[in-house]
Each structure stands twice: as structure tokens, then as C-alpha cells.
Amino acid sequence: MKTATKIIFTLLFINSCLFSSTPKILAQSSLGLTAIPPRLEVTAKPGQTLTKEIKVRNESKTERAITTTTKDFIVTDDNGTPIQLENSLDISNNRWASSSWIQVSPSNFKLKPGETKSLMVTILVPDNPTAGGHYAMILHSPKNEVTLNETGSAIETNVGTLVYITIPGKITEKAQVRQFTAPQFLEYGPVNFKTIVSNFSDIHITPVGAINIKNWFGGKTASLSLPTTNIFPGVSREMTNTLNRKWLFGRYVATLDAGYGATGQALTASLIFWVVPWRLILLVLFATIITIILVALLKRRSPPSQDSSDMKVEELEHELEKLKQKYKDEK
């Protein structure tokens, strides 16, 4: 029961925006609102003004009154969960903040059941922004709608679009594989791989590549594509892959080969793992030994061969003839 409660709480927490200093956002809400698109990516020069369109759809069966706001956010965990910044000090120290650049119209509106509303997003880039990535979120919050979390605190539920703004210039692109792991010894598949990549760049990255697996003869066993994942500046992101095969045997080498960034930077790592169905091997060996023993015992107890029987009959007949002849001689 405790495990189920934790799972439910986690899902509600991810899909909601808290009133506390660490509220969160998702593109879609369990209350029936959908933000389209969930992510908006643009490239803008200093001083440039851009206009983009986003949409909000009411998937529920009731009319909703919506308020739209913009917020800055950061990502601190390996799952890439965006966390709103409410504290002005946090925002001023965030070199990737860009919510003050963004205006959304209209900011207050109503949505009938099944209705989709188009909103105009205006991005006013300052004259001297830092080159690299700048990020914000556009939140759509139903008025007077709250839920309770596990502790009984009020949660304002909302959905939104994450905005990625790239300012061209001298941008540092640097990342590394912090962790690449799999079980070292298995009896059977499947085999689960965990990859954690840390991003030290001035901009978010999206590693593209695969985990290539070879057997102990050097033959290709499988190639597992990395999931498409955005990694924000200054944080790490965990990715998982699964070699979904049960019957494997021997020594395997898994190599991570991926690239990221505008200049094609490389991410590489490798590991070795063994798959040996030792219980099955012992069972086969035991069955073989038992079979050999049974065959040996059967050979010992088997009846004499036909040739041996014929020879014994001939010997008996010969002895009988000798006795007959002896009897005649005595007469």
C-alpha cells in the first residue's frame, strides 16, 4: 500500500505546479488541458523580435477559465523535471532565464469543452543577451482549481509549453558520460543499460547515438538507439536501454557511441558483461552423467548375444556325440 501511494503521489507531483518555491510543470494535465506544442524552440539574434503561435485545448467536459503566465525554470534532477523559479534572487542569478522576454496574448480566456484556443507568443530579445541557451515556461492555469497532495497541501494544477531560445555566438559545448552501467553477470536476458550524461555547455544538448553490443567472437548482437533526451546546461540526465533477449551466452562488449552539439562532439564509453545460464548447464551435465551410468548398467545386465548362444549349443551337441560314441564303444 505504501508503494502504491508513493507512485500515485509521484505522478501527481510531476503533473502539477506547487504553490511552494519548487513548483513543476508538464505539457499535459490529468484535468484535461493540453498545451500544443509541449516545447517551442527558436533561434534569435540580439535585439530581434519573434512571434510564434501556441495552442491550448480543453479535453474535459466542462468549461474552463484559463490564466496564462510566464515563468523561469531550472532542472536539477536526472529525470529532466523543470522546476519553477519564484524567488527573484534565484531568477536574477539564473543566466539562462528568459521569461521577461516573453509576452503572451491573450493571457485570460475561457475554453468550452473540446475547444482549442490559439495564443500569440511575442519574444523580445534584449540587445546584449549572453550567447547560448535561454529558457522559460508558458503556464496555462485553470482558475479556482486545486487538488491536494499526499500531505494535504494545496496544489495548483496547470499545463504549459517549455520555451527554448538560442542566442548565436561563442557557445561552449561540453559534455561527458558520467555513468554507463549494466549487470556484470547474468543467467539470462534481458540486459538493462543505464547511461547518465552531464552537460557542461552553455546550451541544452540532445545526444544522438546507440549502444552497440558484440559477442565474444566480435559479431554484432544488437544496436540500441539512445532515447531522444534534452539535457539542460549544468545538469545530468539519465537514459535507459534494454537488450530484450532471453537467450544469450558468453562474454559481451557494449560500446556507447553518441554525438551532440552543432560541431558533432563525441560521447563514448564501454563495458563488459557475461551471460551464462549456469543452472541449465548444470542440469544438462547432470542428465548426461546419469545417462552414461544407466547405459553402462544396462550393458552389464544385457542377455548374451546370438553368436555366443550358437557356440554354446554347438559345444553341447559335440559333448552329446562324444557320450553317444562312448556308449557304443562300451557295448
Question: Distances in Å between the alpha carbon of 137 and those of 17, 19, 39, 151, 244?
Answer: 12, 16, 9, 27, 37
Comparing 82 with 130, the larger pLDDT belongs to: 130
| pLDDT higher than threshold 50 for residue 44 | yes
Average predicted confidence (pLDDT) for the chain: 83
Where residue 301 falls among pLDDT bands split at 50, 70, 90? confident
pTM score of the predicted model = 0.72
| pLDDT higher than threshold 60 for residue 146 | no
Domains of the chain: 2-167 (2.60.40.10), 175-275 (2.60.40.3880), 278-330 (no CATH)
Helix ranges restricted to H, 214-277: none
Which residue type does 20 have?
Answer: S
Give the pLDDT of residue 90. 53
| pLDDT higher than threshold 60 for residue 156 | no
Comparing 19 with 56, the larger pLDDT belongs to: 56
Write the pLDDT tens digit of every residue in 169-215.
Answer: 999 999 999 999 999 999 999 999 999 999 999 999 999 999 999 99
Write the pLDDT tens digit of every residue in 250-282.
Answer: 999 999 999 999 888 999 999 999 999 999 999
> Which region holds residue 141: left if phi is over 0, alpha if psi is between -120 and 50, else beta?
beta
Provide the Cα torsion 302, 306, 312, 313; round to 10°: 130
What distance in Å separates the CA atoms of residue 310 and residue 45, rounded to the nearest whole number? 108
